[in-house]
Amino acid sequence: MIHHLENYYSGDLAWNQFVNLYKEFWTNNSITQELLQMLNHHRDIAEVIYGKFGSSSLSIITLLIPALDNLSIANCIYTPHLIKRLKECLMRME
């Protein structure tokens, strides 16, 4: 059995509560606008990434992450199961 994080996704309620922790850090600037584009306009994910990594966000999203099975954040935003993997990973980073 393969233990991918998406199999342990905490659910949308937990995710939305988690996102609320980062909303206050979001500002409209060139970094956040580019981040939104690079994350296929998933604003909730962009808010968390920007809240965690600030001005480093754009470089962080292209790094290969072992907890994502060596995918980058940017690689995870195009399919539902990888989005769940990413969200669970972000919630576990606390």
pLDDT per position as a tens digit, 14-70? 999 999 999 999 999 999 999 999 999 999 999 999 999 999 999 999 999 999 999
Distance CA 91, CA 84 (A): 11
At 13 the pLDDT is 98
At 3 the pLDDT is 76
Exposed, middle or buried, 24 (CB in 10 Å: 0-12/13-18/19+)?
A: exposed
pLDDT above 80: residue 2: no
Residue count (the chain) = 94
pLDDT above 80: residue 94: no
At 69 the pLDDT is 94
pTM for the model stands at: 0.93
**What distance separates the 2 farthest-apart alpha carbons in the chain?**
44
